[in-house]
Amino acid sequence: MFYPHVKPKGRRSFAAALDDFRKDSADWFDGTVIAVDRRMAKCGSLLHSAQAAAAHDPAAHLGAIAELSADHTALKNLRQDLLSAASGRETKYVPPSRRTAGKSQLAPEDRRWVTLESAKFFSSQEDAHHDVAEMAERARRHAAEVTSALPPARARSITAAFEEAVAGQARLTPKPRTASRKRPIFTDFPDSQMFL
């Protein structure tokens, strides 16, 4: 049935809605899950419209479908991170030498301190020996505290070297394996049951 007062949604209205969606891309997020849900609803609606319109004119809508699909996936991941405080993400360790442009050479006494203190520090952190990122962060904080009275450039060099030394030891430590729990095999029974 045709309703003359209702305009059919066409290519022009989809293009306008997509432009509005793109214009809001910088200021829609206010830090809440509700904002992400609203954005996901808009994105999902546009994606559905693009997929429906692609049946008639695929070439004109494939780019929009790819863009909206990527946005929808990113929004789902952002929503998950907000709800779980990103607990499911594994941190990757980036050594200080890759984070900074150059690494200055350590003085012999600083190198000796890094070598001895990193071994002592590593052995005292038994709860996280296998976690490279965690050990590196602990080492960085420890070295920053110890070297806080030194000149800034020297303190940064010692801290970076200490962090790399501890992370290197953690990288060489195998992850602990948990043994599977098997049901105990019943191998004994009371003598009185022998004649039942």
* Per-residue pLDDT tens over the stretch 85-102: 766 666 666 676 655 433
122 found inside a domain: yes
Rounded to 5 degrees, φ, ψ at 29 are: -85, 120
100 and 151 in a single domain? The answer is yes
> Does residue 17 sit within a domain?
yes
The mean predicted confidence, pLDDT, of the chain is 80
Query: Contact 110/161 with Cβ under 8 angstroms?
Result: yes
Q: Where are the beta strands (DSSP E) in the chain?
A: none
Contact 46, 17 (CB under 8 A): yes
Domains in the chain, number: 2
Assess whether pLDDT exceeds 50 at residue 4: no
Single-letter residue type at 71: D
What confidence score (pLDDT) does residue 82 get? 84
> pLDDT at position 109, please?
92
Same domain (yes/no): 108, 70: no
What domain range is 159 assigned to?
Answer: 96-172
Whether 66 and 27 map to the same domain: the answer is yes
What's the rounded Cα separation, in Å, for the pair 112 and 193? 70
- Give the integer Cα–Cα distance in Å for 50 and 15: 10
Phi-psi sector, 175: left (phi>0), alpha (psi -120 to 50), beta? beta
What local confidence, expressed as pLDDT, does residue 39 receive?
93
* 18 within 8 A of 71, measured Cβ to Cβ: no
For the whole model, what pTM was predicted? 0.46
What integer pLDDT is reported at residue 102 of this predicted model? 37
